[in-house]
C-alpha cells in the first residue's frame, strides 16, 4: 500500500529536511566493548538512534530442546525500551513487531557465524533500542555484528545495513523516522560487504523493478560506509593499546 | 551467580579486616559518572555508572485515567528491567522477583518523600498525567539499587512536563518538573559480620544479607529494605542510616 | 607486516588453512579479531574449547551421578568421576585437572584433580595463555622469579597464584594480557618486574 504524503520531504534540488543529500547517512558513531559483563558488546549512535547490543556465548544451550548436535544455535532478541520513542510510553517486553524483527536479525547471523565450531551451544544476541528515530533494526544488526566480533565469535563477515526508501518521489539512503512515516517506501537492507549478498531484506510500498534495482545499488554503496565505521570501532580498541605500549617502551 | 570458593574466602577474609579487593574503604563508592539527558526522546532521562555498573532511567508522561480512589491525582509508576544484556544470568521471561524488588524499593523512596506532587497532574475530570519511570539495567557489576535510584533522581531532576492542549500532550514544550525532595539510596552488604557499601558482584555473592536506606536532604529517612538472610542489630541499622545521610549529600552533588 | 584484522577481512590472496581463517574462492579471510603477520593469523579473542591433555582450572558446578560437573569458563563442561577423586568436593570448589578425553562435540572427561585453596584466581582471555606462559615457559618463569609466587596457568584462561608477592604477580599477568599483541613485551616485562619488585622491597 503506497504511503502518500503532503509533506515535502525532499526538495526539488534533492535536499532532505535535515539538509542531507539523497545518499548521505546520518551521523554514525560506533563504540565496541562498552559493557563489562557481556562477552562482547557495541553501542551504535546513528542519528538520534541509540542501540545497544550484547553477546553472551557460545554457552550452554538453554532451553535444552533447542540444542543442535552439529552447530551452535543463534538466538537474537530485539527489544525497544518503553522510553525509546518520542511519543507515548510503551509497554516493556516483546511485541509482534519486535518478534518479527528478532527473527529476521537472527537469520543474518545464522548465515555469517561459523556455528559448526561450537556444536550443542547457544549464542545469545541481546539488542536494546534505548532511543529510536527510524532504522532501528538496521542499527540493531550493525551493533550486533560489532558485538559478535568483540566477543571473538568466528564469522565469515561483519553484517552492515542501511534503510533505503522512497520519499517525495526520490530514492533515499538511510531514512529517518519522518521519511519512513510519511514516505512512499521503506526497504531495510543488510548485506555481507565481502560478497555483496543480501542477508536481510524487507520492503513495503509500491516500486517498479527499476527502482528496486537502483535501491539495491544505493543500499550497497551506503553499506560500505557503515562497514568502514564498524571496522574503525573494532580496530580502535586495539590501536590504543598498541600506542600505549609503544610510548611505554622503557 | 557463578563464583568460586577462593574468591569468596578472600572477600570474607578481607572484610573481617575492614578491607576490600579493590582497596576501597568499607563505605567508599566506586567512581560515579552521571550522564544527564542521555535519551532526549524521553521527557527526562539519565545514565548512571557506578564503577562498571550501568543503569539508565527514562521518564515519560502519558494521559491516563486517575485511580478511582484518587480521582483528582495523576499517577506515578516505577518499573525496572534486568535486561538480558546486563548479566549472563538474566534471562527473558516474566519479571523476576529481583527486578520487582528493585523497582519497588526505588519507588518507595520517591513516593514517601512525595518528591513528585501528583496532585498537580490533574488535567481535566477523568484525565490526568501519568509519570512513568523505567529503570533499565544495562551492566550488572554490583549495587544495582543505588545506581538505579541515582539514575531515577537525575532523570526526574531534568524532566520536562509536557504541555496539555486539546486533549493532547505537546512533548516538545513544557515546564521543568518540580521536585519537592531529592532521594538517594545507600545499600550495604553484610560480609563476615562487617557492613560494606557499594558492593561489586563477588561481594554480593559472599554477602549474607543487604540493607538499603533511602534518604533525602534534611536528613530524613524515606524508605528502607532488608534483604537476604542476615540479621542486623539496632546499632548497625543506625550506623548505616548515618552513612546514608552523609553519602546523601555526596550523591546529590553528582546530579 | 603486523596488522589487526576484523572478521571478513582478507589476509592472503592464496588459500591458507589456519585457525581463525577460512578460504573462499581461493583467497583467505579472517574469522575473528586477529593479529595478522606475514606468517600467521593470531586470534585476539575467543572462548576456550576443551582439548585433550590440557591442564585447566575448573570450578565445581554440581554433583552428578558419576561425580562432578566442572565449569571451565567454556561453552563446554567437563565431567570428573568420583573414582578419580581422593576427597569430596562442594559447589564452588576450585579444582585443577587434566583433560583425559575429549569427544567430537567437545565433551570432556577430567582426571588428576587437585583442590586449590587460598591464593588468588585471575581470569584472563584464553587466547592470551600462550603469551603468559611464553616460549618454553620463559615469561611465566620471569613472573615467578621476580615475585616468588607460584603461578599455575590453566589453558582455559584461569590462572592460580599463591604465595610471594601475589599482588605484583597479578598485576604482571594483567599487563602481559593487555599488551599481548605488541612487540618488545619480554623486555618491558623484565624492566617492569625488576622495578616494581625493588619498590615493594623498599616499602617492606
Q: What CATH number should be reported for the domain holding residue B78?
A: 3.30.230.70
Within 8 A by CB and 6+ apart from A126, the residues are: A38, A53, A54, A55, A56, A77, B83, B84, B85
- Complex ipTM above 0.90? yes
User: Under an 8 A CB cutoff, do C94 and B8 touch?
Assistant: no
Mean pLDDT for all residues in chain B: 95
Residue A1 has pLDDT above 50, yes or no: no
Residue C118: the pLDDT is 87
Q: Report, as an integer, the average pLDDT of C192-200.
A: 86
Among A126, A131, A132, the residue with its CB nearest the CB of B84 is: A126
Q: Percentage of chain B with pLDDT > 70?
A: 99
Residue A11: the pLDDT is 84
Mean pLDDT for all residues in chain C: 91
Counting one residue from chain A and one from chain B, the pairs whose CB atoms sit within 8 A come to 91
Residue B212 has pLDDT above 80, yes or no: yes
Residue B2: the pLDDT is 64
Q: Percentage of chain C with pLDDT > 70?
A: 99
Range of the domain at B187: 2-254
Confidence label for C198 from pLDDT (cuts 50, 70 and 90): confident
Residue C1 has pLDDT above 80, yes or no: no
Residue A242 has pLDDT above 70, yes or no: no
What is the C-alpha to C-alpha distance for residues B233 and B190, in angstroms, rounded to an integer? 11
Residue A35: the pLDDT is 98
Domain count, chain B: 1
Contact by Cβ (8 Å): C159, C153:
yes
Residue C74: the pLDDT is 94
Q: Report, as an integer, the average pLDDT of A169-180.
A: 94
Residue A238 has pLDDT above 80, yes or no: no
Touching check for A58 and chain C: CB below 8 Å? Answer: yes
User: Under an 8 A CB cutoff, do A89 and B92 touch?
Assistant: no
Nearest-Cα distance to chain C for A121, in Å, is 7
Residue A6 has pLDDT above 70, yes or no: no
Contact by Cβ (8 Å): C113, C97:
yes
Residue C39 has pLDDT above 80, yes or no: no
Confidence label for A215 from pLDDT (cuts 50, 70 and 90): very high
Would you tell me which residues 81-110 of chain A have a C-beta closer than 8 angstroms to some C-beta of chain B?
Answer: 81-89, 92, 94
Residue C104 has pLDDT above 50, yes or no: yes
Residue A246: the pLDDT is 47
Which is more confidently placed, A53 or C46?
Answer: A53
Residue B168 has pLDDT above 50, yes or no: yes
Q: Which residues of C96-130 are buried (b: 16+ CB within 10 A; e: fewer)?
A: bbebbebeeebebbbeebeebeebbbbebbbbbbe
Please name the chains neighbouring A, where neighbouring means 3+ C-beta pairs under 8 angstroms: B, C
Residue C109 has pLDDT above 60, yes or no: yes
Residue B189: the pLDDT is 97
CA-based torsion, C176, C178, C183, C184: positive or negative: negative
Q: Report, as an integer, the average pLDDT of B6-32.
A: 94
User: Under an 8 A CB cutoff, do B134 and A87 touch?
Assistant: no
Residue B172 has pLDDT above 90, yes or no: no
Among B39, B52, B85, the residue with its CB nearest the CB of A126 is: B85
Residue A243 has pLDDT above 70, yes or no: no
Question: Looking at the domain covering A20-245, what would its CATH class be?
Answer: alpha beta
User: Under an 8 A CB cutoff, do C92 and B3 touch?
Assistant: yes
Write down the pTM of the prediction: 0.94
Amino acid at each position: 500500500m503506497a504511503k502518500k504524503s503532503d509533506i515535502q520531504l525532499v526538495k526539488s534540488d534533492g535536499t532532505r529536511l535535515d539538509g542531507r543529500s539523497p545518499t548521505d547517512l546520518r551521523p554514525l558513531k560506533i563504540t565496541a566493548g562498552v559493557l563489562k559483563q557481556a562477552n562482547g558488546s557495541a553501542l551504535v549512535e546513528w542519528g538520534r538512534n541509540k542501540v545497544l547490543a550484547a553477546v553472551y556465548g557460545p554457552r550452554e544451550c538453554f532451553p535444552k530442546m533447542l540444542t543442535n548436535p552439529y552447530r551452535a544455535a543463534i538466538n537474537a532478541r530485539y527489544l525497544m525500551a518503553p522510553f525509546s520513542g518520542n511519543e507515548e510510553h510503551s509497554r516493556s517486553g516483546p511485541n509482534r513487531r519486535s518478534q518479527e524483527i528478532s527473527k529476521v536479525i537472527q537469520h543474518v547471523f545464522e548465515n555469517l557465524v561459523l556455528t559448526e565450531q561450537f556444536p550443542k551451544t547457544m549464542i545469545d544476541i541481546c539488542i536494546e533500542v534505548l532511543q529510536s528515530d527510524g532504522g532501528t533494526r538496521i542499527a540493531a544488526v550493525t551493533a550486533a555484528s560489532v558485538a559478535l566480533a568483540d566477543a571473538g565469535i568466528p564469522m565469515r563477515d561483519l553484517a552492515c545495513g542501511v534503510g533505503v526508501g522512497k520519499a517525495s518521489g526520490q530514492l533515499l539512503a538511510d531514512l529517518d523516522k519522518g521519511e519512513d512515516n510519511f514516505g512512499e517506501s521503506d526497504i531495510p537492507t543488510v548485506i555481507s560487504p565481502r560478497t555483496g549478498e543480501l542477508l536481510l531484506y524487507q520492503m513495503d510500498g509500491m516500486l517498479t523493478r527499476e527502482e528496486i534495482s537502483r535501491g539495491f545499488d544505493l543500499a550497497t554503496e551506503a553499506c560500505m560506509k557503515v562497514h568502514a565505521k564498524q571496522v574503525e570501532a573494532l580496530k580502535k580498541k586495539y590501536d590504543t593499546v598498541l600506542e600505549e605500549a609503544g610510548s611505554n617502551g622503557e | 551467580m557463578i563464583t568460586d570458593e577462593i574468591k569468596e574466602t578472600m572477600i570474607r577474609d578481607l572484610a573481617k579486616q575492614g578491607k576490600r579487593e579493590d582497596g576501597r574503604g568499607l563505605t567508599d563508592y566506586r567512581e560515579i559518572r552521571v550522564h544527564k539527558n542521555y535519551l532526549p526522546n524521553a521527557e527526562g532521562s539519565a545514565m548512571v555508572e557506578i564503577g562498571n555498573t550501568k543503569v539508565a532511567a527514562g521518564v515519560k508522561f502519558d494521559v491516563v485515567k486517575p485511580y478511582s480512589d484518587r480521582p483528582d491525582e495523576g499517577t506515578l509508576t516505577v518499573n525496572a528491567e534486568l535486561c538480558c544484556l546486563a548479566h549472563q544470568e538474566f534471562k527473558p521471561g516474566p519479571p523476576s522477583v529481583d527486578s520487582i524488588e528493585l523497582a519497588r524499593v526505588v519507588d518507595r523512596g520517591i513516593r514517601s518523600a512525595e518528591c513528585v506532587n501528583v496532585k498537580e497532574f490533574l488535567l481535566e475530570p477523568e484525565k490526568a498525567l501519568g509519570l512513568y519511570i523505567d529503570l533499565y539495567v544495562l551492566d550488572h557489576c554490583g549495587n544495582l539499587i543505588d545506581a538505579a535510584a541515582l539514575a531515577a533522581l537525575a532523570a526526574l531532576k531534568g524532566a520536562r512536563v509536557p504541555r496539555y492542549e486539546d486533549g493532547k500532550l505537546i512533548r516538545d514544550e513544557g515546564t521543568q518538573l518540580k521536585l519537592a525532595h531529592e532521594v538517594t539510596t545507600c545499600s550495604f552488604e553484610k560480609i563476615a559480620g562487617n557492613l560494606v557499601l557499594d558492593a561489586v558482584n563477588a561481594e554480593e555473592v559472599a554477602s549474607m544479607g543487604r540493607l538499603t536506606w533511602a534518604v533525602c536532604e534534611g536528613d530524613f529517612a524515606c524508605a528502607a529494605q532488608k534483604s537476604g538472610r542476615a540479621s542486623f542489630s539496632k546499632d548497625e541499622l543506625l550506623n548505616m542510616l548515618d552513612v546514608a545521610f552523609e553519602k546523601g549529600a555526596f550523591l546529590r552533588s553528582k546530579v | 607486516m603486523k596488522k589487526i584484522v576484523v572478521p571478513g577481512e582478507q589476509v592472503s590472496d592464496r588459500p591458507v588453512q589456519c585457525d581463525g581463517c577460512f578460504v573462499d574462492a581461493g583467497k583467505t579471510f579472517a574469522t575473528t579479531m586477529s593479529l595478522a603477520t606475514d606468517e600467521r593469523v593470531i586470534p585476539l579473542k575467543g572462548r576456550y574449547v576443551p582439548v585433550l591433555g590440557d591442564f585447566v582450572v575448573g570450578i565445581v558446578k554440581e554433583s552428578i551421578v558419576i561425580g562432578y560437573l566442572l565449569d571451565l569458563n567454556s561453552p563446554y563442561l567437563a565431567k570428573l568421576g568420583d573414582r578419580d577423586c581422593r576427597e569430596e568436593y562442594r559447589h564452588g570448589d576450585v579444582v585443577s585437572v587434566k583433560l583425559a578425553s575429549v569427544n567430537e562435540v567437545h565433551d570432556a572427561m577430567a582426571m588428576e584433580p587437585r583442590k586449590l585453596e587460598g591464593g588468588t584466581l585471575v581470569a584472563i582471555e584464553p587466547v592470551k595463555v600462550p603469551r603468559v606462559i611464553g616460549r618454553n615457559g620463559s615469561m611465566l618463569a620471569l613472573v615467578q622469579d621476580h615475585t616468588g609466587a607460584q603461578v599455575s596457568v590453566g589453558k582455559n584462561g584461569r590462572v592460580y597464584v599463591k604465595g610471594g608477592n601475589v599482588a605484583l604477580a597479578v598485576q604482571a599477568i594483567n599487563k602481559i594480557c593487555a599488551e599481548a599483541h605488541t612487540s618488545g613485551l619480554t623486555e618491558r616485562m623484565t624492566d617492569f618486574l625488576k622495578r616494581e619488585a625493588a619498590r615493594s622491597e623498599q616499602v617492606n
